[in-house]
């Protein structure tokens, strides 16, 4: 009986470790997992094929469904803006590539929000075996074991995960917010600053330190016009072209 109990405990421990390993999603600051898959634009090696661009991996539950259709059309409408920001997009679901191609052809015939017909230039990934969805944690079993939730991974040019967002199946994503996150990440990286709550491109940014010493201010009085503070812990840097 004692030997049986020890064996049972060992099995439970191994099962819990295995579950922890398989249920772990890629975390912010980790390398984005690589994969090769068929898409509506041929074979894709992700993220390598997108080179030094920023990348967005965008999952959806099911082709030909209404909310997903609005999201893909909004993404298509924003393609030029995202490309100008050095961003490349890949969309994934557990549908196969034949289904994706039929859906793309259908969507490209529509005029959503009077935007006119939109050409979908980003690839839709066939993950019918659910390998990538499991690797990226897109399958949330309390909701579904075969369909992705709405997931968004933002990955930088060094293929490091910088942002992760999951949304319920019933709620369409705000594509402008996703674009805002990319803009904020690029701004903080390029200028070594922070962005405050509700920040939008062109707004003042924050600095994580006292921006100048009093003796520096005496030598360069214009510094006082570049920065301002709220209390003694929140320092802001003015955007010059505002």
Task: Please report, rounded to a whole number, the percentage of residues in the chain having pLDDT higher than 70.
Answer: 86
- pLDDT per residue as tens digits for the range 5-31: 545 444 544 444 444 334 589 999 999
Six-digit token string for 113: 């929000």
The per-residue pLDDT for 23 is 57
- Which of these is catalytic: 44, 56, 57, 68? 68
- pLDDT per residue as tens digits for the range 67-107: 999 999 999 999 999 999 999 999 999 999 999 999 999 99
CB neighbours of residue 128 within 10 Å: 18
Region 30-172: CATH code: 3.40.30.10
The continuous run of DSSP H or E covering 228 comes out as strand 227-230
Residue 81 · residue 179 · CB < 8 Å:
yes
* Angle, CA 189 vertex, CA 183 and CA 195 arms, to 5°: 60
Residue 37 · residue 90 · CB < 8 Å:
no
Distance, first Cα to last Cα, the chain: 76
Residue 197 · residue 185 · CB < 8 Å:
no
The per-residue pLDDT for 17 is 41
- pLDDT per residue as tens digits for the range 101-157: 999 999 999 999 999 999 999 999 999 999 999 999 999 999 999 999 999 999 999
Q: CATH 3.40.30.10 in the chain: give the residue spans.
A: 30-172
Q: Among this protein's residues, is 68 annotated catalytic?
A: yes
């Amino acid at each position: 009986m004692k030997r049986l109990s020890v064996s049972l405990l060992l099995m439970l421990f191994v099962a819990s470790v295995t579950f922890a390993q398989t249920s772990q999603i890629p975390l912010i600051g980790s390398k984005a997992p690589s994969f090769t898959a068929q898409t509506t634009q041929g074979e894709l090696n992700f993220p390598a094929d997108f080179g030094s661009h920023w990348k967005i991996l965008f999952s959806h539950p099911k082709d030909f469904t209404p909310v997903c259709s609005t999201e893909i059309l909004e993404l298509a409408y924003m393609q030029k803006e995202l490309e100008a920001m050095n961003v490349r997009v890949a969309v994934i679901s557990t549908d196969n590539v034949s289904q994706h191609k039929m859906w793309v052809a259908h969507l490209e015939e529509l005029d959503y929000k009077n935007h006119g017909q939109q050409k979908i230039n980003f690839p839709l990934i066939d993950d019918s075996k659910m390998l990538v969805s499991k690797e990226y944690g897109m399958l949330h079993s309390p909701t579904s074991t075969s369909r992705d939730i709405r997931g968004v991974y933002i990955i930088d040019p060094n293929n490091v995960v910088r942002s992760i967002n999951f949304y319920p199946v019933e709620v369409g994503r705000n594509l402008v917010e996703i674009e805002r996150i990319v803009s904020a990440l690029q701004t903080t990286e390029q200028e070594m600053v922070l962005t405050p709550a509700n920040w939008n491109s062109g707004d003042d940014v924050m600095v994580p330190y006292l921006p100048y010493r009093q003796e520096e201010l005496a030598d360069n009085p214009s510094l006082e016009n570049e920065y301002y503070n709220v209390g003694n812990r929140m320092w802001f840097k003015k955007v010059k072209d505002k």
